[in-house]
Amino acid sequence: MKKDILTLLDLEKEDFERLFKRSRELKARHRKGIYDRSLEGKTLGLLFEKQSTRTRLSLEAAVIQLGGVSVFISAKDTQLDRDEPIKDTARVLSRFVDGLAIRTFSHTVVEEFAEYSTIPIINALTDRYHPCQILSDILTIIECKGRYSELKIAWVGDGNNVAHSWINAASVLGLDLFLACPDGYMPDEKITEKARDKGCGKISITSDPFEAASEADVIYTDVWASMGQESEQTERKKVFEPFRVNSQLIKKASKDVIVMHCLPAHRGEEISEDVLEGPNSVVWDQSENKLHMHKAILEILMGKGKTAEV
Ligand code: CP
Ligand code: NVA
């Protein structure tokens, strides 16, 4: 049976652990210049409707370094842009490639692709979730802190797609997640309630960034206006001004706090230049880990001789 990763709720704790273990092995092998051929003969399609630097390149590099090939498809250059139904496109692409990573606006698009495809569908970001980002981010936390549990993880900023995936991860792994978002920009209550109902982990929400940052081991932020919200940029800049991750905020955190950002960053908006470039920032390692985590994901979902167990 094929397996999709549309949200982190598609994974059990054991699946996360398996991905962390394998991505660390693959990273160590990469450092030594050793590449497995686990995706030899396999083709990954990437169907993107929004811009991407890291996710696209790390997925393409991952598949190529493991012996496979990637095909990038800009959605606007396909017949989808001329109203060919998703259910038809999904069945056709399933005949050509062995897996499909999709970056799009509405989350229902990836759900519909998953329903009609016979190949694994990987959510490479929707307006609602960014699951693979958080998998590689937790890998970075493990590398920096040796664990992901018993750490205060603070989210400071918009209650957006990345925040939603953090909430999902918290409910599967039992994380202590403290989110600070302005009123009116909180995460979707349905997502938070569902996560809290699982009874695993602690999800706290405040509108005070200093409360979230206090004694935090990890401070994470993201853009104030996500892709598709460009028209709200001016208004959002005013509302989010007190939510900037700057040196004043990180002084409240644990002295070994790591500062994370999925990037692209807007210096002087959600994060100050000195913090982004400062000693607590791990953003470049965080970015690199997308490559290693994507390799682990692709191997498990579409690797040679593997059944998709995740
Ligand atoms: N973090 C992330 O997803 O970056 P891109 O938008 O460049 O892929
Ligand atoms: N929240 C951001 C993440 C970019 C990687 C966006 O959706 O634009």
Same domain, 193 and 265: yes
Write down the residue that tokens 């209650």 correspond to. 159
Residue 161 CB–ligand 2 contact under 6 Å: yes
Closest ligand to residue 126's CA: 2
Same domain, 44 and 111: yes
CB 290 within 8 A of CB 140: no
Q: Can you name the residues that pair with 305 across neighbouring β-strands?
A: none
pLDDT of 305: 61
In whole numbers, what is the pLDDT of the chain averaged over residues?
Answer: 97
Same domain, 295 and 256: no
CB 192 within 8 A of CB 205: yes
Residue 133 CB–ligand 1 contact under 6 Å: yes
Residue 308 pLDDT > 60, yes or no?
no
Would 307 be classed as within a structural domain? Answer: no
3-state secondary structure 111-137: HHHHHHCCCCEEECCCCCCCHHHHHHH
DSSP-assigned letter for residue 69? E
Rounded to whole angstroms, what are the CA distances from 193 to 164, 168, 173, 188? 11, 10, 16, 9
Q: How confident is the model at residue 307 (pLDDT cuts 50, 70, 90)?
A: very low
Same domain, 203 and 278: yes
**CA-nearest residue, atom 6 of ligand 1:** 52
Residue 166 pLDDT > 50, yes or no?
yes
Write down the residue that tokens 């990180």 correspond to. 250
pLDDT of 295: 98
pTM: 0.97
Would 309 be classed as within a structural domain? Answer: no
% of the chain residues with pLDDT over 70: 98
Rounded to whole angstroms, what are the CA distances from 278 to 79, 283, 285? 46, 10, 14
- Length of the chain counted residue by residue: 310
Same domain, 197 and 280: yes
Same domain, 154 and 280: yes
Q: Give the structural domain span for 199.
A: 132-287
Same domain, 216 and 181: yes
Would 3 be classed as within a structural domain? Answer: no
Residue 128 CB–ligand 1 contact under 6 Å: no
pLDDT in tens, 204-229: 999 999 999 999 999 999 999 999 99
Q: How confident is the model at residue 306 (pLDDT cuts 50, 70, 90)?
A: low
Cβ-Cβ contacts under 8 Å for 56 (sequence gap 6 or more) = 46, 48, 72, 103, 124
Distance 192 CA to ligand 1 centre (A): 24
Would 71 be classed as within a structural domain? Answer: yes
**CA-nearest residue, atom 6 of ligand 2:** 226
Would 308 be classed as within a structural domain? Answer: no
Amino acid at the residue 241:
E
Q: Which of 50, 105, 125, 135 to mutate to test the pocket of ligand 1 (most atoms within 8 A of CB)?
A: 125
**CA-nearest residue, atom 1 of ligand 2:** 226
pLDDT in tens, 25-75: 999 999 999 988 999 999 999 999 999 999 999 999 999 999 999 999 999
DSSP states of 220-249 as a string? EE--SS-TT-GGGHHHHHHHHGGG-B-HHH
Q: How confident is the model at residue 310 (pLDDT cuts 50, 70, 90)?
A: very low
For position 112, which CATH number holds? 3.40.50.1370
The strand ranges marked E within 57-151 are 69-74, 99-103, 121-123
C-alpha angle 245/53/212, rounded to 5°?
20
Same domain, 44 and 162: no
Q: Which of 55, 161, 232 to mutate to test the pocket of ligand 2 (most atoms within 8 A of CB)?
A: 161
% of the chain residues with pLDDT over 90: 96
Residue 124 CB–ligand 2 contact under 6 Å: no
Q: How confident is the model at residue 11 (pLDDT cuts 50, 70, 90)?
A: very high
Residue 226 CB–ligand 2 contact under 6 Å: yes
Would 1 be classed as within a structural domain? Answer: no
Would 97 be classed as within a structural domain? Answer: yes
Between CA 229 and CA 215 the distance in angstroms is 32
Same domain, 233 and 161: yes
Q: Which of 223, 230, 232 to mutate to test the pocket of ligand 2 (most atoms within 8 A of CB)?
A: 223
Structure tokens at 109: 């698009």
Give the number of the atom of ligand 2 that is nearest the alpha carbon of residue 162: 1
Same domain, 39 and 113: yes
Closest ligand to residue 46's CA: 1
Q: How confident is the model at residue 277 (pLDDT cuts 50, 70, 90)?
A: very high
pLDDT in tens, 117-154: 999 999 999 999 999 999 999 999 999 999 999 999 99
Same domain, 203 and 61: no
Between CA 305 and CA 283 the distance in angstroms is 35
**CA-nearest residue, atom 7 of ligand 1:** 53
Give the H or E element holding residue 202: strand 202-206
**How many domains does the structure of the chain reveal?**
2
Cβ-Cβ contacts under 8 Å for 252 (sequence gap 6 or more) = 210, 213, 214, 215, 216
Would 148 be classed as within a structural domain? Answer: yes
Between CA 255 and CA 118 the distance in angstroms is 49
Same domain, 165 and 62: no
